[in-house]
Structure 1
Amino acid sequence: MASLDSIQALLKGQRGLPPIERWHPELSGDIDIVIKADGRWIHEGGEIKRHELVKLFASILRKEEDGDYYLVTPVEKWRVQVEDLPLLIVDFELADKETATDAPKIIVKTNVDSWFELGVNHPLVVATAPATGEPSPSVLTFHGLAARVSRACFYRLVELAEPVGESLVLRAGGEAFVLGASR
């Protein structure tokens, strides 16, 4: 477990995001970028392999009310395609409890090195995939974006959950998140 101070340092140490919520240019068109379900960014058929470039693009990505995803600058707005969700949760840290009755603080990490504390502002939502009946967990991040929780991270979160009635419930950040039915 990480200390609360180290978790707070992770959150505070993040570079600020561009103020894309204040940018409202006209649509410039569609750009040949596809964000694959496995987190890879594809431009004109080739994978963008420079992690820093993917992080930069992710910092100016937003989902709008029409359900589409856009890369936005102060003067341009380009629509991109997203197969599932644009981000992935690839890891998490669990802060030490301050008292025995406290719910843990769980800080999740995306594939673009952003950190979010699970709670009211960044809830964990577990839907059921219609085709498979499997859990389909995600975390709301920023700018209308959500991140798919990797299978390995989800299994680790399930280990932290407790049975409550017929459900498995994860308590974090003052919230209770239903992960699925207990068995």
Structure 2
Amino acid sequence: MTKTASKNAISVSAQLKQLSLTQSKTQTHLHSKSNTDESAPLCSETPVFDINSEGEWFYLDSPLPAKFAKLFASVLNCINGEYFLITPVEKVKVTVKRHAIVLVDYQLDDKDGLTFISSIGTEHAIANISEVALLEDAIEINIERGVKAGLGRACYYRYINQFVTD
């Protein structure tokens, strides 16, 4: 690894650690509120987080470990079609290529509801399978805070075989 690459890796690592500490301090507060404060000041018009079409998270063009993606997903919001990480003190823009969360598996519960598991290890429950939207090129659901999640390839075909075809 070159000195520049090593320095950049340390810099990104230090920034992620600081972001993680900030998010951890506010996570308990956020979960106690019924609605996230959308009026928190926007830090920058330039997104520093990106989520690609496979549901992989990036921070300043560097891959984000799943544990950090899971943490940041807990404060991910979609407002008027735009994605943000929102804490009580700040709002950060996020670029989303296709779906913010990619669902890789699901379990059916006793009352016709589903619990989906995402590629980053988060769980998302819906009360009824009628909440799942069958689109021409995808299957998606609206999860918490307005965020849209899409079914990954294997989950997509499993869902089609179980609920759509005879």
Percent identity of paired positions between Structure 1 and Structure 2: 23
Q: TM-score, normalised by structure 1?
A: 0.64
C-alpha separation in 1, matches of 2:115 and 2:42: 35
Contact 2:115 2:123 in 1 (8 A): yes
Q: Given the alignment of the two structures, is residue 76 of structure 1 paired with residue 84 of structure 2, yes or no?
A: no
- From 43, 50, 57, the equivalent of 2:72 is 57
Q: Given the alignment of the two structures, is residue 90 of structure 1 paired with residue 98 of structure 2, yes or no?
A: no
Aligned-residue CA RMSD (Å): 2.6
Q: Return structure 1 stretches of 4+ with deviation > 6 angstroms.
A: none
Q: Given the alignment of the two structures, is residue 136 of structure 1 paired with residue 155 of structure 2, yes or no?
A: no
Which protein has the bigger strand share? 1
C-alpha separation in 2, matches of 1:64 and 1:121: 24
- 1:134-173 matches, within 5 Å, as 135-161=137-163, 168=164
Residues matched between the structures, number: 136
C-alpha separation in 2, matches of 1:44 and 1:116: 27
Which protein has the bigger helix share? 2
Give the unaligned 5+ runs of structure 2: 1-26
CA shift for structure 1 position 147: 0.7
The letter of the residue matching 1:117 is: A
Q: Given the alignment of the two structures, is residue 45 of structure 1 paired with residue 53 of structure 2, yes or no?
A: no
Q: TM-score, normalised by structure 2?
A: 0.70
Q: Given the alignment of the two structures, is residue 35 of structure 1 paired with residue 37 of structure 2, yes or no?
A: no
- From 26, 43, 48, the equivalent of 2:41 is 26
Instruction: Go from structure 1 to structure 2 and tell me whether the alpha carbon gap of 1:41 and 1:122 turns closer, same or farther (over 3 Å shift).
Output: farther
Contact 2:113 2:128 in 1 (8 A): no
